[in-house]
Amino acid sequence: MLGLVSAQTVVLNDKTITILKDEVVLEVSGLVCSFCATGLQGGLSSLKYVDGKKYKNGVFVNVEYQYAVIAEMIDHDINVDEAITMITKSGYEVLSVYTNRTGEKIEVRRFEAKKDEK
């Protein structure tokens, strides 16, 4: 089940996730291994405007349902394209990005799955 969006929640891989106002949620294909989480957390937490007080240095990674949550500082947005590049360099692919900038409506960016990586 890919990205069924309601007012404040989205269903990713059968898991209902609430998208908070100051968070970015990325659905990541191939994100299944334990050490994936370590690599992603390290990379994503170094992005500008990540709120390191939340989660583990501002990043939560769920390898069971293959998504990452980045907490943003209030009134600041992270650079989502940099986050996508970071995830790609970590060996994974971003399938979709969910934001809730206004706190009222979830916005979705979807990316075509590219299976092969060199």
CB of 6 to other proteins, least distance (A): 21
CB of 89 to other proteins, least distance (A): 4
CB of 37 to other proteins, least distance (A): 5
Local structure of residue 55 (DSSP, 8 states) = T
3-state DSSP of 74-101: CCCCCCHHHHHHHHHHCCCEEEEEEECC
Give residues with Cβ within 8 angstroms of 12, minimum separation 6.
1, 2, 3, 25, 27, 65, 66, 67
Binding site for other proteins (CB under 8 A): 13, 29-43, 56, 60-64, 66, 89-93, 95, 113, 115-118
Q: Is the Cβ of residue 38 or residue 79 nearer to other proteins in the bound state?
A: 38
Q: Is the Cβ of residue 72 or residue 93 nearer to other proteins in the bound state?
A: 93
Q: Is the Cβ of residue 35 or residue 103 nearer to other proteins in the bound state?
A: 35
How many other β-carbons are positioned within 10 Å of the β-carbon of residue 44? 25
